[in-house]
């Protein structure tokens, strides 16, 4: 199958998993992850109805944005402060906010370049405890998110996590992120509607745990190039 055909297939599978979890079929956003894939593959998914695309690296995202018209770019990989300006010029959403220093860099850019706009962001949480993964420690999220109130150009929508590769530990991580979201909702009287969790191998479990965005790469685009 082509990337476009696989996108349609995965989209229907996500809708089916949503229904199986007792949720509306359209409750979960499918974010195709196009990292390492050529611009032609992105265009094929766009022709099948895709619009947003997840990228891990700023340089690749920027290059691809110059080749593909009409796509919205979502940065899901770790963002270094010294690349924040380049990312802000291209991305419509950041799903990997994990430090006050990065929040400050994003706020400064938006205040200077797009003062009337806000950047949609999710806070990345390291639910697996793996030192190789980025993200705020779960115990630090409450204080971190309080500090984010000082940055009016950041539209903080929810939480994101990259699950442990072991399925059982992944499910624990999904439950932990959903529980943390509930705590923030109770504290703030609502909000925190987005939970970005689940990838090609575990999206059904993530949807059952409450995910509102699944990040799918291999199942749509095939192996990384």
pLDDT tens profile 25-79: 999 999 999 999 999 999 999 999 999 999 999 999 999 999 999 999 999 999 9
List domains and CATH numbers for the chain: 3-221 (3.20.20.10)
Structure confidence at residue 129 as a pLDDT band (50, 70, 90): confident
The angle formed by the CA atoms of residues 103, 150 and 74, to the nearest 5 degrees, is 35
pLDDT tens profile 167-193: 999 999 999 999 999 999 999 999 999
Query: Rounded to the nearest 5°, which phi and psi values hold at 162?
Result: -105, 115
Under 8 Å between Cβ of 216 and 35: no
């Amino acid at each position: 199958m082509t990337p476009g055909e696989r996108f349609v297939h995965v989209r229907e599978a996500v809708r089916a998993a949503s229904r199986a979890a007792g949720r509306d079929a359209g409750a979960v956003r499918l974010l195709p992850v196009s990292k390492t894939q050529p611009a032609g593959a992105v265009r094929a998914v766009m022709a099948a109805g895709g619009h947003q695309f997840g990228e891990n690296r700023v340089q690749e995202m920027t290059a691809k944005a110059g080749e593909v018209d009409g796509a919205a770019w979502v940065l899901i990989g770790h963002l270094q402060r010294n690349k924040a300006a380049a990312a802000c010029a291209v991305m419509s959403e950041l799903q990997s906010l994990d430090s006050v220093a990065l929040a400050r860099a994003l706020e400064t850019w938006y205040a200077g370049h797009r003062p009337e706009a806000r950047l949609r962001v999710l806070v990345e949480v390291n639910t697996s405890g793996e030192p190789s993964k980025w993200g705020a420690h779960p115990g630090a999220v409450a204080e971190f998110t309080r500090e984010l109130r000082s940055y009016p150009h950041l539209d903080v929508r929810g939480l994101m996590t990259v699950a442990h590769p072991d399925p059982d530990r992944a499910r624990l991580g999904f439950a932990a992120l959903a529980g943390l979201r509930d705590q923030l909702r109770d504290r703030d009287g609502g909000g925190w509607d987005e939970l970005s969790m689940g990838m090609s191998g575990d999206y059904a479990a993530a949807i059952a745990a409450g995910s509102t965005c699944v990040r799918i790469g291999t199942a749509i685009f095939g192996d990384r190039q």
